[in-house]
Structure 1
Amino acid sequence: MIRQPSSHAALYDFWRRSVAGERVSRVEDKPQCGYFKRRMVRGGPFVPVEIWMEQDIDPETGELTAPERLRAICNGNLCRPETVWTYCRPISASEYDGLTGAHASIPDMAATHVAIDLGQMAAIRP
């Protein structure tokens, strides 16, 4: 039996359609691949989340050599996709990159478990 890996198009279909503005039905216990944002606490800053499919593929045959595994990274830490999926909002890849950089360059964004008022921060800083 040939074990074909899931295609990139199929894996990222939910995310791609959501970012394009389409209303896509979401199954709460079935995480999907893509770039997302979420808050760690109510009123806290958004943190970046990436969910992807890990695939071990034989370079000669193109077949899977092991079962596909869904993986996730939230705010720079590996985590189980099921634990973050419920709170994720789809975002573009460029917004994901910007959010990742903001946590490194804006000290107030680094405190992800504390509620902050980013509007108030903008009024204080020139």
Structure 2
Amino acid sequence: MIRQPTSAEDQYSFWRRSVSGERVARIEDDPQPGFYKRRMVKDGPFVPVEIWMDQEIDPITGELTAPETYLAICNAHPCDPLEVWTYCRPISAEEYDALTGARQSIPAMADTHTKIDLGQLAAIRP
């Protein structure tokens, strides 16, 4: 039996369709690869989340040599995709990059477990 890897097109279908504005059904225990944001606490700043599929592929046959698994990184730390998935909101790759940089350039965004007033933050930014 040939075990073909899931194509990138299929892997990122949910994320692409969601970012484009389509309402796509979400299955609670089935994380989908893509770029997302979430909050670590209520009213805290958004942090970036990336979910992807890890595939071990035989370079000669192109077949899978192990089961496909999901991996994730949340707020620059490896995490369990199932634990973060239900809190994730799809975002564009550009917004993901901006969130990743915001933690470094805006001190209030670095403390992800504290509520912040984003209106007040915008008023003090140059």
TM above 0.5, yes or no, is yes
Identity fraction in percent? 71
Moved over 3 A (4+): none
State the TM-score, normalizing by the size of structure 1.
0.97
Q: Deviations over 1:74-105 (max 9, x none)?
A: 00010110100010000000100110011111
The Cα shift of 1:13 comes to: 0.5
In 1: Cα distance, 2:123 partner to 2:7 partner:
46
In 1: Cα distance, 2:17 partner to 2:70 partner:
20
Counterpart for residue 34 of structure 1: 34
- Aligned residue for 2:108, secondary structure, equals helix
* Uncovered stretches (5+) of structure 1, i.e. residues with no partner: none
The Cα shift of 1:113 comes to: 0.2
The count of aligned residue pairs is: 126
In 1: Cα distance, 2:33 partner to 2:121 partner:
33
- Which residue identity does 1:40 align to in structure 2? M
In 1: Cα distance, 2:29 partner to 2:3 partner:
24
In 1: Cα distance, 2:48 partner to 2:125 partner:
24
State the TM-score, normalizing by the size of structure 2.
0.97
RMSD of aligned residue pairs (Cα, Å): 0.8
Counterpart for residue 114 of structure 1: 114
* Uncovered stretches (5+) of structure 2, i.e. residues with no partner: none
